[in-house]
Chains A and B, each alone.
Chain A
Amino acid sequence: MKLLVCVSKTPETTARIAFTNDNTAFDSSGVQYIMNPYDEWYALVRALELKEANGGTVTIINVGPAANDTIIRKGLAIGADEAIRVDAEPQSALYVARQIAEYARGEDFDIVFLGKESIDYNGAEVGAMVAELLELPFVSHATKLEMDGNKAMIVADIDGGDARLEVDTPFVISAAKGLAEQRIPNMRGIMMAKRKPLKVVEPAAAEDLAVSVRFQLPPEKGDVKLVDPENMDELVRLLHEEAKVI
């Protein structure tokens, strides 16, 4: 099986979120980056498991600058065979999707994997866009994927429930929690990753049709109002009369 896993780079989950240039840009000073958890923990690992069971190759692709090579190498250390980096500073989901589709077209991947969303811009858009550009079926929020030849049996999260789906390869799939278990790269993997191919390609021309122009932090919470643990009638009263939520 020929498998492609799209990975993105996101700030580490405890990173301080702040903005610069009059709140028009993310302040990356001092921020540590990680591979987007949905891409790493679920999409990549399920692809590796399928390769281990059926043979084939796992390629990872990232659209981003040279600084992203660290997280790409981590993907190789976890077990991907090779990597592609499209050398660009992406501004929108559509831009990223066009780069991925440009590379994947003609490569005949059986399955293109992504995480269900990135934890920075929370778009959950790239998968659907890649699928449309490649004219492939798309299943989002997959929590189970089993293959039988070229037929996939998938369980996907639908708000408040599960859908059981069937689709034949080739297709695009986005991974949610449950699809696989996180793998920690071992020393051998890390050593081998250094010798695996990481190819850098130039971006295709593509427009950004939607761009972020200003950021804002949520309003600060006022002080917490403490309620006597013996007096839950008072909490109920506050929720009803003051907060007006019940």
Chain B
Amino acid sequence: MVLVLAETQKGKFKKASLEAVTYGNKTAQVLGTDCAALVLGPASGLEELGKYGASKVYHVPDAGLDNFDSQVYAAVISQVAEKTGATVIVFSHSALGKSTAGRVAVRMNAGSVSGANTVPTLEGGAFKVTKGVFSGKAFAEYEIKSDIKVLSLMGNSIPVESSGGPAPVEELSVEVPAARVTVKSLERVEGTTPLPEAELVVSAGRGMKGPENWGIIEELAEVMGATTACSRPVADTGWRPHHEHVGQTGIAIRPNLYLAIGISGAIQHLAGVNNSKTIVVINKDPEAPFFKAADYGVVGDLFEVVPRLTEAMKKFKAEQG
């Protein structure tokens, strides 16, 4: 059985988790088995996960699991995996997934691949799965040799599919150890989709000249329903917050659309964004290296082009209704 950890946020399943359940179901089909989802902590509406491919949902409702501690989560997930006979355990490559998957791999003596971006294959008994390496500059296929396998799924790697009906929910009682990490508070950036999950990203670089000019970027992003990002020097000089920094030493993203404005396209920047489905570059320098990595290019002054693009987007949105 393939067991998928589904994370909730403010009472709703995260998009990354819906992707993971879809992925778990596809993996189960390859292995000729079923996919079950696992939800930890108080939550409701769990049967909904059936829609995305879970044939069953396990629930450990202990209130203590609201306080995320990777040590506690790993102990609980491993117990559930053993109880239910899971052979593949799937996480999202989220903050929670990253701090827990490795622990579960140790506990279950499982080989693991983190940031997987393809459905595994099974050829002649060899279990293989691909992930991005060298910060997006290449892909590597891994073979996992252990009986139990742990995977974490890179966001935006496969689209969410919802064709199933509700799944039965079963409450499990397992031992929940005391947490040693205490969560004092959580603060989320409100309003926009977090960068790793965003399908549309509007990103700007030093060509913006200064933080006071970002209004045109924010307006374009708002019209498009996109998340904003930036190049490293822009974050380093404090023009924009660190969490917007994308690239090899920032966040690696793969949205459907990456719109790069006044960014030269240095190799370290490209590393984190070049797996985006479509790349649009706006730069006044026709020789900017980013054009070589772009699908569409606009050679022009961003201070003129961006407001024009915003108007065109507004018009398009209005026509679409």
Contacts and interface: CB of A to CB of B under 8 A. Distances in A.
Contact of A123 (B114, B128, B295): B114
Nearest to A213: B143
Contacts of A233: 312, 315-316
A127 B182 contact: no
A212 B142 contact: yes
A132 B235 CA distance: 34
Interface residues of B, number: 103
Contact of A128 (B98, B131, B291): B98
Contacts of A51: none
B274 interface: yes
Given A159-B94, A240-B316, A17 B134 contact: yes
Contacts of A232: 298, 305, 308-309, 311-312
B245 interface: yes
Given A126-B102, A232-B305, A240-B316, A161 B138 contact: no
A37 interface: yes
B217 interface: no
Given A97-B106, A177-B242, A227-B297, A215 B138 contact: yes
A225 interface: yes
Given A213-B142, A229-B300, A92 B111 contact: yes
Interface in B214-268: 224, 235, 242-243, 245, 248-250, 252, 256-257, 267-268
Interface stretch (A59-67, A69-77, A78-86, A135-143): A135-143
B48 interface: no
Given A125-B102, A178-B242, A214 B194 contact: no
Interface string B86-117: 00000001111011111101110111111100
B295 A225 contact: yes
B141 interface: yes
Given A138-B103, A211-B142, A212-B141, A235 B312 contact: yes
A156 B95 CA distance: 9
A209 B110 contact: yes
A160 B186 CA distance: 11
A11 B189 CA distance: 34
Interface stretch (A102-110, A163-171, A186-194): A163-171
Nearest to B139: A216
Interface in B175-211: 180-189, 192-197, 199-200
A129 B185 contact: no
Nearest to A117: B98
A144 B295 CA distance: 38
Interface string B5-21: 00000000000100000
Contact of A236 (B180, B250, B312): B312
Q: What's the interface size class on A, roughly?
A: 35 or more
B79 interface: no
A233 B252 CA distance: 30
B321 to A, nearest CB: 14
Interface string A22-54: 000000000000000110000000000000000
B182 A229 contact: no
A205 interface: no
A136 B224 CA distance: 44
A135 B106 CA distance: 11
Contact of A122 (B115, B128, B181, B188): B115
Nearest to B137: A17
B257 A245 contact: yes
Given A167-B182, A212-B140, A122 B132 contact: yes
A31 B111 CA distance: 29
Nearest to A177: B242
A157 B95 contact: yes
15 contacts: A94-B112, A119-B134, A123-B114, A123-B115, A129-B103, A135-B71, A136-B71, A137-B181, A165-B183, A165-B184, A212-B141, A216-B130, A229-B298, A243-B257, A246-B200
Interface of B: 16, 68-71, 74, 93-96, 98-103, 105-107, 109-115, 128, 130-146, 180-189, 192-197, 199-200, 224, 235, 242-243, 245, 248-250, 252, 256-257, 267-268, 271, 274-275, 277-281, 291-301, 304-305, 308-309, 311-313, 315-316
